[in-house]
Structures are given as structure tokens and as C-alpha cells.
Amino acid sequence: MKIRIFSLFPEMFEGPLTASLLGKACDKGILSIEVVNFRDYALDKHRHVDDTPYGGGQGMVLMPQPLVDALEDHAPDSANSEVILLSPQGKPFSQADAVRLSKREDLAFVCGHYEGFDERIRHFVDSEYSIGDYVLTGGELPAMVMIDTIARLIPGVIKEQASYEEDSFFQGLLEYPQYTKPRDYRGMEVPEVLLSGHHANIRRWQKKEALRRTWQRRPDLLEGYPFSAEEEALLQAVQDEEGSNE
């Protein structure tokens, strides 16, 4: 996958995109990441990319010309591409979006700053995403979050597909609790079922605890969740247990 990032602060991406799994994926040629400073496309000698808003208002607004010229100068090689605008007004980014975007051959992320974009910039993007109901200083951090989430789903970035298929949100639930050695740490013991070697019982425990954690912490995720008969029974058991503990 080729990833292009349009930003006024390309230096922000030097660490996060060159370390850990992303750095290794780039070294292997699985990922190709290019960061474009669209200030280079400003036309005046002071390299202005923003101006005061028509109609008045606080702050400065990004002008369309530098960014659009940069986008057109770095047009994707593939038709299987998507240009993404990072904005607090965008669709909330989810794991399902990451799965869809991981199948693209070319992604572009547009990072803004200041008070916002000239509205006409939206005519040159394909989608608009937000990573949460809060405001950041720019789109660089959301771009990093999205790239990390998407890239780990690309074949070859993570060695084993099962490593991410059991992650929180991938199957619509939060992940079940995980344990490793030692068996007893300061009186807190690993659940006996995980030591039993009985795979069916372990799988059932993991499913039940994933449902318990989701019901306790993110009940909104259960709205519209496609429960199997087993899952309905497990959730009812969880609710009965938790009710008896009150």
C-alpha cells in the first residue's frame, strides 16, 4: 500500500512511522509512505497557506490552492485509492472503517491546521474522518492513529492474522482478559480454566468474559450486535452473575 500524507508539519511523522511494525513494513516494501508539505505549493514569497475568513470570525482558514495543487501533483497511481480529510466534523473512525481502508492500494491523508479548511477543499477528497469528539491542534495525530490502525491489517505487517482478529472491536466486542506467567502474582491467580488445557471450555470462557467486559464498559457496542444463541445465553449468565453480586 502507498500512503501519502499532506501536512504543514512533516517532521511530526518521522518517529511514529519509522519505528516498530510500521518501520519494518516499510523496510519490507509492504508499505510506502510519502509526506508532502503543501506549503511548498504556496504562490507568494512568504509561502502563505491561510488567510482570514470571509464574513469575519476568529483565526485563519486554509486556502484551497496550495493543498489542491499538492493533491493534484501527487495523484494516486491506482484507481483503488481514497483521499481522506481529517476533521472533527468527519465520520467517527471505527475498526470496520480500518478493515475497509486496508484493502485500498493508495491512501492519502489531508491534515489541516488553524481554524479549518476552505469549504471548497472538500470537493477534492473522498471521505472525512474524526477520531473522537474533541479538537486537536491539527490532523497529524489523527492521521497517525488511522495509519497505524489500517496498516496492521495489511497482510504481512503482522505475522499472524489471528493476532489482530482477536483484538478489541475486530469482532464487535472488547477483548477478553489476558494472562501470562507467573500463575500467582501477589495473590492474584490466573483463572483455573485457562490452565485446564480444555480448548472448548477456554473458548467459552473467553467469549463469556469478552461479553462481560463489553457489557460493563461499552454496552453501546452490543446494540445491533449479531448474537448467536450461545452468546445470548452467555450474556444472560453474565447479567445474572453481576446482578447477584450487587
Do the annotations mark residue 134 as ligand-binding?
A: yes
Do the annotations mark residue 118 as ligand-binding?
A: no
What is the β-pairing status of strands 127-130 and 81-92?
parallel
Determine whether 100 is an active site residue: no
Catalytic-role residue among 69, 82, 97, 115: 115
Determine whether 39 is an active site residue: no
Catalytic-role residue among 64, 76, 88, 177: 88
Do the annotations mark residue 133 as ligand-binding?
A: yes
Catalytic-role residue among 82, 128, 167, 231: 167
Do the annotations mark residue 132 as ligand-binding?
A: yes
Determine whether 191 is an active site residue: no
Q: How many CB atoms lie within 10 A of CB 148?
A: 15
Provide the CA 55 distance to its chain's centre, in angstroms. Answer: 35
Do the annotations mark residue 86 as ligand-binding?
A: no
Determine whether 104 is an active site residue: no
DSSP, residue by residue, 40-80: GG--STT---EEPPTT--SS-EE-HHHHHHHHHHT--SSSS
Spatial neighbors of 160 by CB under 8 A, at least 6 apart, are none
Do the annotations mark residue 112 as ligand-binding?
A: yes
Do the annotations mark residue 77 as ligand-binding?
A: no
* Residues 201, 70: Cα–Cα separation, whole Å: 56
* Residues 162, 135: Cα–Cα separation, whole Å: 34
Residues known to be catalytic = 88, 115, 152, 167
User: Which residue ranges make up the annotated binding site for S-adenosyl-L-methionine?
Assistant: 112, 131-136
Residues at the annotated binding site?
Answer: 112, 131-136
